[in-house]
Each structure stands twice: as structure tokens, then as C-alpha cells.
Amino acid sequence: MAAMVFEVLTIFPALIEAYTSESIMRRAREKGVVEVFVYDIREFTTDRHRQVDDYPYGGGAGMILKPDPVCRALEHLDRDGEERLKVLLTPAGRVFDQSLAEEYARSRGRILLIAGRYEGVDERIRSFVDEELSIGDYVLTGGELPALVIIDAVTRLLPGAVGDSRSVREESFTTGLLDYPQYTRPPDFRGMKVPEVLLSGNHELIRRWRRKEALRRTLRRRPDLLRKARLDEEDRRLLKEIKEEEQWR
């Protein structure tokens, strides 16, 4: 199977290399599940000072990413004739979420991520990209962490990237609910006991308990997710039980 490919345009290539050279990302690269190529925007400057940013026209604080080096980098990459989705990371973009991660993972395509700086990028860069993405409503110093967040969230969905693929399929957000509570040994930790049902060996009871606790947690913490989740008959019955239980607390 062809590897999914991520390309990152950044002025801090070492940040991208560092994260993608450890743990799951490292293994996924070694196994050929994903390829990550990092390009230093500074390599595409043509002036003696290799300047990648400049003062904003009209005045104001901060520096703006210049359009020329980014565009030259894009032109250089496009010379290989490959189709690539060009994505600019910016707080002004569409908010990235699990369903977009799934869409990208399914596409198994080639995605180019352009990490801007927080003060901004020259507006004309926007006309060379296909999509603008934000990872949430907060402002970071640059697009490197957002690029890594997207690479990480997509890579772990690719077949072969994570040891036990069940752990990806069954978890939170993929099912539309928050995760149920998990326990490992010991059965009694400082007086806090593992729920009896989990020690019972009764798989049907365990399944139902987990579903109910996932619903309970989502109802309490993220009712917004519950409204969007696909619920069946059993879920609605469990939710009714939960609401009745909670009245007595």
C-alpha cells in the first residue's frame, strides 16, 4: 500500500523532525505507513540575508511571512508533478477535528502543511493554498505545533500505524462519545476499588457498563457531543437510567 505523505514548509524544520522521529510517528515512518518531508522556507530565499519575514505595511507590531520564499518553495515542490493538498495553518482557518482527520486518512494522499508565524503571513500567500486550517480557538507562536497535531491525528488512523487497531476504532470521538473509565492493576489502590463488573469476566455486562459510563461522562462533560452522536435504542435506555440515577445524587 502506498504511504501517506506529509510535507511541511517551516522556518523551524528541527521541530518537525524531532517529534516525528520518536514513538509511534517514528515507527510509522520506519514501517512505510507514512512519509514526512520537511522543507526549510529559508532555503528558498534569494537575498543575501535569507530573510523570510518583514515589517507589515501600514505599521504595527510583529513580522509578516514574506510571500516570495513560500511561493518559490511551492513551485519547487510542484515540479515533481504530484497532486498535493496545500494547507496553510492559521487561527483564521476551518477548525480541524476528528472527522477531517478520518477524511485525510481515508484519502491516503499527499498533504503539504505550511506553518505560518503568529503575527501573520502575507495575504497573497492565501491564493496559493487549497485550504486553511486551525487546530482550535487559541493563538500559538507558529504553525509547527498545528502541523504536528494534524500529522499525528491522521497518522494514527492509518492501517499499521498503531499496534492494536482496536484501540483506535473503539475509542472516544470515533464513536462520537468520550471514553469510558479504564482501570489496570491493582484492584484496590489506596482504598479506591476497580468496579466489580470489570472483574466479573461477563463480557456482555462489561460491554453494557462501558457504554453506559461513556454516555454518563459525555452527558456530564460534553453534552454538545451527545447531541451529535449516533445513539441507538439501548443508548437511549441507558441515558434514561443515568438521568434517573443522577436525580438521587
Note whether 55 binds ligand ADE by CB under 6 A: no
- Beta carbon of residue 90, minimum distance to ligand ADE (angstroms, whole number): 5
Q: In sequence order, what are the residues at sequence separation of 6 or more whose Cβ sits closer than 8 angstroms to the Cβ of residue 136?
A: 95, 96
Q: Per CB under 6 A, which region of 128-136, 173-181, 208-216, 239-247 contacts ligand ADE? A: 128-136
Note whether 138 binds ligand ADE by CB under 6 A: yes
What separation in angstroms does the CA of 105 have from each of 19, 108, 109, 168? 19, 5, 8, 13
Buried b / exposed e along 225-244 (16+ C-beta atoms within 10 A): ebeebeeeeebeebbeebee
Q: In sequence order, what are the residues at sequence separation of 6 or more whose Cβ sits closer than 8 angstroms to the Cβ of residue 97?
A: none
Note whether 139 binds ligand ADE by CB under 6 A: yes
Q: Which is nearer to ligand ADE, 6 or 209 (CB)?
A: 6
Give the distance, in angstroms, between the CA of residue 52 and the centroid of all CA atoms in the same chain: 27
Q: Per CB under 6 A, which region of 101-109, 130-138, 175-183, 186-194 contacts ligand ADE? A: 130-138
Note whether 10 binds ligand ADE by CB under 6 A: no
- H/E segment holding residue 242: helix 233-247
Q: Which of 32, 60, 62, 136 binds ligand ADE (CB under 6 A)?
A: 136
Q: Which of 34, 135, 148, 151 binds ligand ADE (CB under 6 A)?
A: 135
Q: In sequence order, what are the residues at sequence separation of 6 or more whose Cβ sits closer than 8 angstroms to the Cβ of residue 233?
A: none
Burial, 154: exposed, middle or buried (Cβ in 10 Å; 0-12, 13-18, 19+)? buried
Q: Per CB under 6 A, which region of 4-12, 48-56, 137-145, 229-237 contacts ligand ADE? A: 137-145
- Beta carbon of residue 8, minimum distance to ligand ADE (angstroms, whole number): 13
Q: Which is nearer to ligand ADE, 155 or 218 (CB)?
A: 155
> Which residue ranges make up the site for ligand ADE (CB under 6 A)?
89-91, 118, 134-136, 138-140, 143, 146
